[in-house]
Amino acid sequence: MTTLALPATEDLRARARACLDRIGVVVPEGDDLYARTPITGEDLFGLKGSGTAETEAAVAAAHETFLTWRSTPAPRRGDVVRRFGDLVREHHDDLAELITLEVGKIGAEAYGEVQEMIDIADYAVGLSRQLYGRVIASERAEHRMVESWHPLGVVGIISAFNFPAAVWSWNTTVALVCGDTVVWKPSEQASLIALACDRLLARAAEESGAPAGIHHLLIGGRETGETLVDNPRVALVSATGSVPMGRAVGPRVAARFGRSLLELGGNNAAIITPSADLELALPAVLFAAVGTAGQRCTSLRRLIVHRDVVAELVPRLTAAFERLPVGDPFDKDTLVGPLISRVPLETMREAIARVTDDGGKLLVGGDRVETTADSAAYVRPAVVRIDAHSPVVREETFAPLLYVLTYDTLDEAIALQNDVPQGLSASIFTQDQQEAEIFMSAVGADTGLVNVNLGTSGAEVGGAFGGEKETGGGRACGSDAWHAYMRRSTSVVNYSGEVALAQNISFS
């Protein structure tokens, strides 16, 4: 087995520095935490972190700005987002390069993540002219009942490493047009990308005449996140990350009657039915399982295959896994880049050991790729066939590990899909319309995203994104997800000139 040659960290540091310079970022150097590249697993820069005092100051400034920003007409608020979208277009390559450098996404996926930022900015600009309420029929004569949506306040965003820029932009662009101001605590594994996004938004504010205080960045880990979660002036905490993080954040925000929007872990499944077009299903399954090295919340983790299809599908799948080029994410031929750190490598090894103890059979992959950098974590994506029930399958292992299960009836397949605590994304591959309709119906998949003839990952910004059960119930992006960033008031106007009580109550 040959050793994978990786670029020198020194060269990667120079690349990062050049991207940050082009964007205009001044790196706050210090030794509170380290920006690292998973390409070699080594440090790029030491950074100064934000403590309680910085959080207090950021939230106070965001609140102060909110008091005027909320009264700025929404289409004018859209101007800053329009300019931001233009700046992201200008720096598309720089942002994508930083994403590859800091979280290890291959070029095409990093470029796609930046495209998603542009898409949501376009969406939010349009939304800035469509924040509407309802007029509802009143039961009283000559009364008018209206529902209005108003800005909420300061939105605290906590984001995960694996979509370091897109998730922030889903929240921020929508929150800003809704009239909120933002304080962002990004993943401690993606601070450089956050500095770049913050700088571009600051420039957009400057160039479009919006106040600088609409957005604030905090650099740090869990403790910094907690200062944001506990701050009573943060009206909404939008937190994206693991289920344990949501379990800690949700009750803390609820204890002070704040609002939270939780986007947590998934354990996504695809069902391959006897009528499935395998030419379509195989590449879709492959991308969903190993895209972003299995580190997407929507990554495919469980493949539920009809017993009649297993013999044909599984050998083709394992052969495709065997051929996957694992390596330097800057290399154009690479399809699977590094894991974010050695931690998921260990978690994946443990999961494989546990599932094989439970009767599972490792069909391919799972071995670490030898590299010229000791700290890097590259792994060959694995497929494990498991027929018996194993508790490991119900957990989200955030790495390229796909379990293959078999089924006989559609009811059984749907029950298997739903038999996990998470509820983010599910797919079915079928040419049978009845099966597809059942899968999307109330007795079908219990997830927030339900797809037919496409994989579990790769959502568009126009739809509401999020999931049920332990995934947290939050929705971000399109459709009516903007409601989460606003408060609703119901108003009744009496123009009858007489007293008229609801429910016909007489009180004279």
Of 6, 25, 160, 310, which one interacts with ligand NAD (CB under 6 A)? 160
Q: What is the DSSP letter of 165?
A: T
Residue nearest to ligand NAD (CB): 225
Q: Of all helices (H) and strands (E), which one includes residue 136?
A: strand 135-136
The nearest distance, CB 49 to ligand NAD, in angstroms, is 11
- 252-260: Cβ within 8 A, 24+ apart: 252/226, 253/229, 256/230, 256/232, 258/232, 258/234, 259/152, 259/235, 259/484, 260/236, 260/474
Q: 41 vs 179, which CB is nearer to ligand NAD?
A: 41
Please tell me whether residue 485 adopts helix, strand or coil conformation. helix
Of 271, 297, 304, 392, which one interacts with ligand NAD (CB under 6 A)? 297
What is the spatial distance between Cα 319 and Cα 210, in angstroms, rounded to a whole number? 54
Catalytic residue among 97, 109, 263, 470: 263
Q: Which stretch binds ligand NAD (CB under 6 A): 53-61, 86-94, 134-142, 222-230?
A: 222-230
Q: Which residues inside 439-478 make contact with ligand NAD, applying CB under 6 A?
A: 471
Tell me if residue 178 is catalytic.
no
Q: 65 vs 417, which CB is nearer to ligand NAD?
A: 417
Q: Which stretch binds ligand NAD (CB under 6 A): 71-79, 258-266, 351-359, 380-388?
A: 258-266
Tell me if residue 263 is catalytic.
yes
Question: Do the beta carbons of residue 286 and residue 508 sit within 8 Å?
Answer: no
Q: Which stretch binds ligand NAD (CB under 6 A): 115-123, 140-148, 153-161, 311-319?
A: 153-161
Q: Which stretch binds ligand NAD (CB under 6 A): 157-165, 307-315, 327-335, 412-420?
A: 157-165
Strand partners, 156: 183, 237
Give the β-pairing of 422-423 and 468-469: antiparallel
Q: 197 vs 314, which CB is nearer to ligand NAD?
A: 197
Catalytic residue among 113, 297, 470, 477: 297
Q: Could you give the C-alpha distances from 371 to 5, 16, 38, 98, 338, in angstroms and in order?
A: 6, 21, 12, 22, 11
- Label residue 429 exposed, middle or buried (CB < 10 Å: 0-12, 13-18, 19+): buried
Strand partners, 385: 361, 404
Q: Tell whether residue 226 is a contact of ligand NAD (CB under 6 A).
A: yes
The nearest distance, CB 98 to ligand NAD, in angstroms, is 17
3-state secondary structure 187-215: CCCCHHHHHHHHHHHHHHHHHHCCCHHHE
Q: Which residues are catalytic?
A: 263, 297
Using CB under 6 A as the criterion, which residues of the chain lie in contact with ligand NAD when the complex forms? 158-163, 167, 185, 187-188, 221-222, 225-226, 229, 240-242, 245, 248-249, 263-266, 297, 396, 398, 424, 471
